[in-house]
Amino acid sequence: MPSNSGGSSRRIPWLLLLAALVVVPLILTALAAFSGGGGIESGLSERSHEALTKAGLANVDVEFDGRDATISNADADQAKLAAVIVTAIRGVRTVEVDDVKPVPKAPVPLAVAIAEDGVTLTGSVPDEAAKASLVEFANARGRPVVDNLTVDPNANLSGATVTLSGPAATADEKAAIGEQLRGALLEVTVDNQLVVPPAPPPPAFDRAALQQQLTGLLSEAPITFNADTSVLTAQGSATIARIADALRAAPQARIEVDGHVADTPGPDPNAQPLSDQRAGAVKQRLVELGIDAGRIDAFGFAATRPIAPNNTSAGQEANRRVEIIVL
């Protein structure tokens, strides 16, 4: 019977060759991965740090185990953004986040709210000295103080803004309170939002009643001048002073001052200028007494508007007059 030993011996080399073809590549791949893993990690780490730095996340740490990344030293928002950035890098397989830090609380802006029933302080100050200065400022208002200030070493007053709100009686008081607050915290900018109430409207006046009052004053003591001049007599000045008092009580009223002279025989080239000058003299005196010039019109009418015959001295005296009309 023929022996099979020769055939078996021929098959064994082929089996060994086949095994070598399968096993050797696997061994070479493993060796390549083992020897090149550090290079892969280094490249991915370098590209990741570069991308994070460009995104403003240079402080975030990223480590690689092969192609798998672990992000650390980041708060929740930073970690979320860093994960997106690292995941997008070619060659990265997975990204995990480890050791998420809480988001630090920002210092609370400073505010001083003044009210009728007290002064409320809110915000963060860097130390007890700054807090004491603000409380002292608030106590100077003479009202109860609500101290909601917190001492936070991270607070920085240099260039900070403190908001000042509430009512102020006048613009001067508003400015003074703002300066006092600025003096309490020299480094800050004061946003002065104190509100000054609008001035009350001037009281309404009765036009007819005011006209009657002014006409009565002129009837009792007419405004008079030295002869042929626009120089007021003592009586004229006294009457104008009383008229000014009446106008102060009616600040919305406007008036017209009319100057008149008597008609004399023959042409009188001085009649018009004299009547203009006398009306102007009355206006000027009222302005000197504090009446706004914008409230006063002044006109001269020469002898064109007589109220009595000019053929008697009494009539001429009546026609030499100043009239005041409420507009």
| Domain residue extents for the chain | 5-101, 110-195, 207-326
pLDDT in tens, 59-79: 999 999 999 999 998 888 899
DSSP code for 260: E
| Cα gap 223→278, rounded to integer Å | 10
CATH number of 110-195: 3.40.1520.20
Within its chain, how far is the Cα of 55 from the centroid?
34
CA distance 212 to 206: 10
Residue with more model confidence, 49 or 18:
49
Neighbours of 255 (CB within 10 A): 24
Beta strands in 104-172 (DSSP E): 110-115, 118-125, 145-151, 161-167
Tokens of 303: 């002898």
Does the domain made of 207-326 have the CATH classification 3.30.1330.60? yes
Cα–Cα distance between 302 and 311 in angstroms, integer? 17
Helix, strand, or coil (residue 225): strand
* Model confidence, pTM: 0.45
Cα separation, 124 vs 239, whole angstroms: 65
For 169-214, the pLDDT digits (tens) are 999 999 999 999 999 988 889 999 999 999 888 778 899 999 999 9
| pLDDT, tens digit, 9 for 90 and up, residues 25-42 | 555 544 444 444 567 888
For position 27, what pLDDT does the model report? Answer: 55
Per-residue pLDDT at 321: 96
